[in-house]
Amino acid sequence: MNDKLAAAFALLDSIRKNLPPGLRVPAKYVREYHSALGDLERASGENLAAYRVPARELSQDVKAYEPGRSTRYSEPRCDRAFLLAKLDALLSFFDFREHSAKAPIGFRPPK
């Protein structure tokens, strides 16, 4: 494994291990995940668009509302379970790809 792949995997592993508790996580974790995903995409040559968190998954809560004046919103957040599902699927994809290259699946006739 080259250094760029190793660095991207290390960052992804760190994101998974260090997500804050709770149902929703700040968008900065999604941005960091997308950055590592981009590094992994460039280093591996794979198209990993399916593992991105869509913008529609980020939402904001109303923090303050003044009728007729203004509305203040919280920082965008993402459902923690959704982000973890994307992250785990991405890591599983590479784990499966690595193992399938070493151990073929299925019947092989004797030579």
* Residue-averaged pLDDT of the chain: 86
Identify the residue with better confidence: 79 or 101. Answer: 79
Nearest of 90, 63, 89 to residue 76 by alpha carbon: 63
Q: Sheet of 77-79: strands edge to edge? A: 24-26, 77-79, 58-59
Reported pTM: 0.78
Identify the residue with better confidence: 59 or 48. Answer: 48
Strand 62-66 to 77-79 pairing: unpaired
Question: How many angstroms separate the CA atoms of 72 and 69, rounded?
Answer: 10
- Sign of the alpha-carbon dihedral angle for 19, 94, 2, 104: positive
What's the token pair of residue 100?
Answer: 């399938």
What mean pLDDT is predicted for residues 28-38? 95
**Residues 6 or more apart whose Cβ sits within 8 Å of residue 92:** none
Cα maximum dimension of the chain: 80
